[in-house]
Amino acid sequence: MTRNEIQALFDLPFNDLLFRAQAVHRENFDPNEVQVSTLLSIKTGACPEDCKYCSQSIRYDTGLEREALMAVDDVVEKAKLAKANGATRFCMGAAWRGPKDKQLAVVEAMVREVRALGMETCATLGMLTPAQAGRLADAGLDYYNHNLDTSPEYYGEVITTRCYGDRLDTLAAVRDAGINVCSGGILGLGESNADRVGLLHALATLPEHPQSVPINQLVRVPGTPMADAAPVDPFDFVRTIAVARILMPRAHVRLSAGRSEMSDELQALCFFAGANSIFYGEKLLTTGNPDTERDNALFERLGIRPERPAEQSAAPRRAAS
Ligand code: SAM
Ligand code: DTB
Ligand code: SF4
Structure confidence at residue 10 as a pLDDT band (50, 70, 90): very high
Structure confidence at residue 260 as a pLDDT band (50, 70, 90): confident
Q: Which atom of ligand 2 is nearest to the CA of 289?
A: 14
Torsion 256-258-263-266 (CA) sign: negative
Burial of 63 (0-12, 13-18, 19+ CB in 10 A): exposed
Q: Is the pLDDT of residue 320 over 90?
A: no
Among residues 167, 175, 182, 245, which one is catalytic?
A: 182
* Integer Cα distance of 65 and 92 in angstroms: 18
Q: Is the pLDDT of residue 311 over 80?
A: no
Tell me which residue has its CA closest to atom 4 in ligand 3.
51
Q: pLDDT at position 159, please?
A: 97
Q: Which residues, 6+ apart, have CB-to-CB distance to 166 below 8 Å? A: 127
Q: Which of these, 300, 283, 282, 299, lies nearest to 291 by C-alpha position? A: 282
pLDDT tens-digit map of 194-247:
999 999 999 999 999 999 999 999 999 999 999 999 999 999 999 999 999 999
Q: Is the pLDDT of residue 309 over 80?
A: no
Among residues 54, 89, 239, 259, which one is catalytic?
A: 54
Q: pLDDT at position 312, please?
A: 57
Q: Is the pLDDT of residue 319 over 60?
A: no
Quick check: 244 and 276 in contact, CB under 8 A? no
Angle among Cα 74, 292, 120 to the nearest 5 degrees reads 50
Q: What is the mean pLDDT of residues 299-320?
A: 71
